[in-house]
């Protein structure tokens, strides 16, 4: 005999929430149980909140915001009736909501309701009609009075709640559409919604307040570990505790799992478990919880991943391949071989579901555990060939964009041939030096990480070129140790290919980085080898600059006669190759050699000729370098007023380029010139600014300039700070 309408209706609702018979549970796991009462019985206020977590840490600002919803109400302000708590999987949304609801439930005299919509996680999603049926049963509406259609159920639900003061906790919602029918019509009720989705529709249409829950701070994370593991084990190895927090990405769920694993090993130290987590390939395995999908990190992430549409899921896993900490919109488009508008829409989708976070600079980033999961999905769901192609598109995009920036910063600099762009990616272009330099600074970490990954994956043809197109940025900004590191990688890639041009480029750059780091002997070997390889591949630019730099080293070693001879060879190489900028730089070093030999007239003439060459090709930066050298040379002959003019023009240019070290050189020159002219206040002002800049830049960039500041000593041998040197 088929079930009656009433029985069928009850069965449908019960199946939706995992209940059977007359016992109805509104929540899937923790919901309160309501036994159907006969007509005429006394209504009892429902108290359905699940058990709060036993260890809850901080979240004071969020709790204060939630508390404000129950405080005496300002009649002029709109009353909060819906609040959405959103955030990444495992960040503690439900824990916060339940913790606050328990402490606020006394304000809601007619009871509280709880339902898990299963928007993310194992099992089928609870549809709004099913949820309404369960909630109505919890509110003691007899099954035969529950309408079969969703509109009827929503209307009855609102009617039942009219005049009641209740708290409704709607947990784990997938979308605003899933929540909207569950909202009471009464302003005396408060609905708290938790979701991994940002629920923009609920905010826009229903006026919901939204709070985004972030991962815990370091202090909050350590406090959570202390509550679970105990003070003694944390205090015995505080460094391991902090490392454990970092490896768990400050994520509450991961920290709780890790703490549970540690407490299960009472005789082992924290460092032992931390060592297991250090292995990225095994970190997610180490945070598994057997037979509990709701508490397993990988399963929690998988619930969000499987909720994505295919295009967003593909972008999520490909973004996991990115070697750096953050990825920009255009880089992501190149990686995924998509147009920028399509990529933007997909990234916004991933951001709304809190699988990616938007940074202050407009880039996107994973927290570390999600990054590992995305990489894992890429390795499982993308063919190896597609992964390689995606990374090649990404590296080539960075290469072409960096080259565009390099050409803006140093328009007359040596260029290297680049492989063609493939796919939908479009490299960025820049309208000026400031824009290009900002991009380089923002992407510096990514550029280094992409280069490292390219070398490891054998993409040597792209790898050796990356340092070559970053030269101007590193020369101007002075990250010299990192500059040295990238040229070592570039040289490794070029040697793996047997590419002479690549080897020559990177030997020259490596020499410059070593020279600036005062590794003089290493610099000499790099320049000598660069000359040899450059002659082999007939590159007069690299040959000329390597010879010139050997001359600079000889000047520092007090051998100006030999420097003069080598620099004459450099000048010949530049002129034979038609390299105007190189010609100017060789003239500067010739002038320095003459100055060391006491030949002031020849030195001034060489420096003046160099400045004219730079101005002739529109090279503002090199012109400023030449003016600094000229200012030094004329100052030695007592022409202090003339030197002031040269330094002032150089200073303005260096500041425009953001070239802080050379700004310092010009400032010190101005201070010295003003002092020589008896302008003591002006001199002190320039020295003061120079001293502040020295402290800002640190020893790596300023050791050779400190000696020129009154009261400062420089460590090690000093070079002439106004002889620019370098291949830049």
Tens of pLDDT along 105-140?
888 999 999 999 988 877 788 999 999 999 999 889
Topology annotation, domain 5-213: Rossmann fold (3.40.50)
What pLDDT score was predicted for residue 699? 60
Band (75; pLDDT cuts 50, 70, 90): low
How, if at all, do strands 111-116 and 46-47 pair? parallel
Buried b or exposed e, range 66-100, using 16+ CB within 10 angstroms:
beebbeeeeeeeeebbbbbbbbbbbbbbbbbbbbb
Tell me what percent of the residues of the chain surpass a pLDDT of 90. Answer: 62
What pLDDT score was predicted for residue 463? 98
3 state SS for 661-673: HHHHHHHHHHHHH
Name, in order, each residue with C-beta under 8 angstroms of 704's C-beta and a sequence gap of 6 or more.
Answer: 714, 718, 719, 721
Band (72; pLDDT cuts 50, 70, 90): low
Q: Does 40 have pLDDT greater than 50?
A: no
Pick from 630, 547, 639: nearest CA to 591? 630
For 264, counting Cβ atoms within 10 Å of its Cβ (0-12 exposed, 13-18 middle, 19+ buried), the class is: exposed
Pick from 722, 709, 703, 724: nearest CA to 519? 703
What pLDDT score was predicted for residue 35? 34
What pLDDT score was predicted for residue 716? 36
How, if at all, do strands 23-25 and 209-213 pair? unpaired
What are the tokens at 64?
């204060």
Report d(CA 349, CA 418) in Å as an integer: 34
What pLDDT score was predicted for residue 417? 93
- Looking at residue 420, what DSSP letter applies? P
State mean pLDDT over 196-213: 90
Q: How many CB atoms lie within 10 A of CB 61?
A: 9
Band (462; pLDDT cuts 50, 70, 90): very high
Q: 281-335 pLDDT, tens per residue? A: 889 888 887 766 566 888 889 999 999 999 999 999 999 999 998 999 999 999 9
Cα 512 from chain centre: 29
Stretch among 66-70, 509-513, 528-532 having the lowest mean pLDDT:
66-70
- Looking at residue 140, what DSSP letter applies? T
Stretch among 63-77, 254-268, 302-316, 624-638 having the lowest mean pLDDT:
63-77
**End-to-end Cα distance, the chain:** 91
Q: 557-595 pLDDT, tens per residue? A: 999 999 999 999 999 999 998 899 999 999 999 999 999
Q: 83-109 pLDDT, tens per residue? A: 999 999 989 999 999 999 998 988 899
184 contacts 161 by C-beta, under 8 angstroms = yes
Name the strand (E) or helix (H) holding 233: helix 231-236
What sign does the CA torsion over 260, 265, 270, 274 have? negative
Pick from 169, 146, 171: nearest CA to 159? 146
Domain boundaries, the chain: 5-213, 218-298, 473-706
Q: How many CB atoms lie within 10 A of CB 266?
A: 8
What sign does the CA torsion over 407, 409, 415, 418 have? negative
Topology annotation, domain 473-706: 1.25.40
Pick from 3, 1, 25, 4: nearest CA to 13? 25
What sign does the CA torsion over 220, 223, 228, 229 have? positive
Report d(CA 477, CA 471) in Å as an integer: 10
Higher pLDDT, residue 52 or 10: 52
Stretch among 34-48, 302-316, 416-430 having the lowest mean pLDDT:
34-48
- Looking at residue 294, what DSSP letter applies? G
What are the tokens at 214?
């972030």
Report d(CA 565, CA 593) in Å as an integer: 10
Higher pLDDT, residue 676 or 293: 676
What pLDDT score was predicted for residue 703? 59
What are the tokens at 361?
């600079």
State mean pLDDT over 453-457: 96
Q: Does 712 have pLDDT greater than 60?
A: no
Report d(CA 64, CA 711) in Å as an integer: 54
Q: What's the whole-number average pLDDT of the chain?
A: 86
What pLDDT score was predicted for residue 519? 94
What pLDDT score was predicted for residue 486? 97
Q: Does 4 have pLDDT greater than 50?
A: no
For 93, phi and psi rounded to 5 degrees?
-65, -50
What pLDDT score was predicted for residue 705? 63
The neighbouring-strand residues paired with 82 are 191
State mean pLDDT over 375-392: 95
User: What are the CA-CA distances from residue 66 to residues 46, 88, 104 (Å)?
Assistant: 21, 19, 9
For 62, phi and psi rounded to 5 degrees?
-70, -40
Report d(CA 229, CA 221) in Å as an integer: 12
């Amino acid at each position: 005999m088929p079930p009656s309408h009433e029985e069928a209706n009850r069965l449908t609702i019960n199946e939706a929430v995992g209940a059977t018979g007359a016992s109805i549970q509104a929540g899937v796991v923790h919901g309160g149980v309501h036994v159907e009462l006969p007509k005429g019985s006394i209504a009892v206020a429902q108290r359905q909140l699940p058990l709060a977590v036993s260890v809850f840490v901080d979240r004071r600002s969020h709790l204060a915001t939630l508390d404000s919803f129950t405080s005496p109400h300002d009649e002029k302000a709109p009353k909060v009736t819906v609040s959405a708590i959103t955030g990444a999987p495992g960040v503690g949304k439900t824990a916060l909501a339940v913790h606050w609801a328990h402490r606020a439930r006394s304000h809601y005299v007619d009871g509280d309701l709880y339902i898990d919509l299963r928007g993310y996680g194992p099992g089928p999603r609870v549809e709004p009609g099913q949820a309404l049926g369960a909630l109505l049963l919890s509110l003691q509406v007899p099954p035969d009075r529950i309408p079969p259609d969703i509109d009827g159920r929503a209307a009855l639900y609102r009617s039942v709640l009219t005049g009641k003061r209740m708290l409704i906790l709607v947990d784990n919602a997938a979308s605003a559409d899933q929540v909207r029918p569950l909202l009471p019509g009464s302003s005396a009720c408060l609905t708290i919604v938790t979701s991994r989705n940002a629920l923009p529709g609920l905010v826009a249409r229903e006026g919901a307040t939204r709070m985004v829950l972030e991962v815990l701070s370091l202090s909050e994370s350590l406090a959570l570990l202390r509550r679970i593991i105990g003070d003694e084990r944390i205090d015995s190895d505080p460094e391991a505790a902090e490392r454990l927090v970092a490896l768990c990405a400050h994520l509450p769920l991961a920290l709780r799992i890790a703490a549970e694993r540690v407490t299960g090993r009472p005789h082992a130290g924290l460092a032992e478990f931390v060592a297991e987590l250090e292995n990225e390939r095994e970190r997610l395995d180490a945070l598994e919880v057997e037979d509990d999908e709701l508490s397993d990190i990988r399963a929690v992430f998988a619930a969000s991943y499987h909720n994505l549409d295919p295009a967003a899921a593909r972008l999520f896993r490909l973004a996991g391949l990115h070697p750096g900490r953050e990825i920009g919109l255009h880089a992501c488009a190149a990686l995924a071989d998509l147009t920028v508008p399509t990529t933007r829409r997909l990234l916004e989708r991933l951001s709304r579901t809190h699988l990616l976070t938007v940074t202050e600079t407009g880039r996107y980033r994973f927290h570390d555990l999600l990054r590992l999961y995305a990489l894992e999905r890429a390795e499982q769901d993308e063919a190896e060939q597609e992964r390689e192609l995606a990374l090649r598109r990404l590296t080539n995009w960075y290469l072409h964009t960096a080259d565009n920036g390099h050409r803006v910063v140093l328009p007359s600099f040596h260029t290297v041939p680049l492989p063609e762009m493939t796919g939908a990616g479009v490299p960025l272009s820049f309208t000026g030096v400031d824009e290009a330099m900002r991009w380089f600074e923002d992407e510096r970490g990514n550029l280094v990480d992409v280069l490292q990954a390219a070398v490891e994956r054998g993409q040597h043809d792209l790898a050796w070129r990356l340092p070559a197109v970053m030269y101007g940025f590193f020369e101007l900004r002075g990250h010299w140790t990192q500059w040295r590191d990238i040229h070592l990688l570039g040289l490794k890639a070029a040697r793996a290919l047997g590419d002479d041009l690549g080897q020559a480029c990177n030997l020259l750059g490596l020499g410059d980085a070593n020279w600036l780091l005062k590794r003089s002997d290493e610099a000499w070997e790099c320049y000598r080898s660069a000359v040899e390889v450059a002659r082999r591949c007939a590159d007069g630019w690299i040959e000329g600059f390597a010879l010139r730099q050997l001359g600079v080293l000889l000047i520092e070693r007090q051998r100006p006669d030999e420097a003069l001879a080598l620099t004459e060879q450099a000048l010949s190489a530049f002129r034979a190759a038609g390299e105007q900028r190189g010609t100017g730089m060789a003239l500067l070093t010739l002038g320095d050699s003459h100055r060391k030999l006491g030949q002031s007239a020849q030195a001034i003439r060489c420096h003046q000729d160099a400045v004219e060459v730079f101005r002739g090709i529109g090279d503002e930066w090199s012109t400023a370098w030449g003016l600094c050298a000229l200012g030094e040379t004329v100052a030695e002959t007592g022409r202090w007023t003339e030197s002031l003019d040269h330094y002032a023009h150089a200073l303005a240019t260096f500041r425009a380029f953001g070239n802080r070290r050379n700004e310092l050189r010009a400032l010190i020159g101005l201070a010295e010139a003003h002092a020589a002219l008896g302008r003591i206040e002006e001199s002190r002002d320039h020295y003061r600014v120079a001293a502040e800049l020295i402290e800002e830049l640190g020893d790596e960039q300023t050791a050779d300039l400190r000696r020129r500041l009154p009261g400062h000593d420089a460590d090690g041998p000093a070079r002439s700070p106004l002889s620019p040197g370098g291949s830049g």
